[in-house]
Structure 1
Amino acid sequence: MTTTRQHGEMYWALGCAPEPPYYASIFSTLKMAHRPGYAEMDEATMKAAAEQDGYLGHQVVHDGDRTIFISYWRDMEAIRAWGAHDLHMQAKAKGRSGWYAWYRSEIVRVEHAAELSR
């Protein structure tokens, strides 16, 4: 299920949010103006992540050149497996070498989640 909201979207692999606990990997970025190959790599990594065991969903919010991308995972083992995935490692290397002016990566354990949708 994809829920489109102003400036962002939420996607859950199973159609709805999982019950906590689960993990979130938060990736906040400021993109460089010139980033050849970025859109193609972004699409490929999104597809590859969604195929990983333990992937639960994602949320992304864009504001100009700033993005916050949150991927949700069953456990730390799934996050580590995604971190070691060849395509993800290629994307990280390209991000460090020129796609991003700044980025921050955080991993958190979600203990509680509540949602209201109208």
Structure 2
Amino acid sequence: MIDLTSKQPGFLGVESARKGVGIIVSYWSDIASIKAWKANAEHQEAQSKDRQEWYTNFRVRITKVEREYGI
């Protein structure tokens, strides 16, 4: 999915972590790009398969990153 995601218009990047709970965060340039990714047929098929085989529940959060900084 990461390869497909990275080819989508408006895609900025992705981060993931897996230790007890799997977390994947994808970054997009705007809400229209997020909606287009949600509507992508391959993405929908993968989500359906994931729900059936791997996840009993999941959560989607759409947020706006105002700034990022670190050392």
Question: What TM-score do you get using the length of structure 2 for normalisation?
Answer: 0.90
Of residues 80, 95, 108 in structure 1, which corresponds to 2:50? 95
CA shift, 1:80, in A, is 0.5
Q: Which runs of 5+ in 1 are unaligned?
A: 1-44
Please tell me whether Structure 1 or Structure 2 has the larger radius of gyration of its CA atoms.
1
Partner residue of 1:46? 2
Amino acid at match of 2:63: V
Would you tell me which structure has more strand in proportion to its own residues? Answer: 1
Would you tell me which structure has more helix in proportion to its own residues? Answer: 2
Q: Which structure is richer in relative contact order (CA contacts within 8 A, separation 6 or more)?
A: 1
Partner residue of 2:23? 68
CA shift, 1:69, in A, is 0.4
CA shift, 1:54, in A, is 0.4
Quick check: 1:105 aligned with 2:60?
Answer: yes
> What is the distance in 2 between the residues matched to 1:67 and 1:55?
21
- Percent identity for Structure 1 against Structure 2: 34
Question: What TM-score do you get using the length of structure 1 for normalisation?
Answer: 0.56
Amino acid at match of 2:50: G
Q: Which runs of 5+ in 2 are unaligned?
A: none
Q: Which 4+ stretches in 1 moved above 6 angstroms?
A: none
Aligned residue pair count: 71
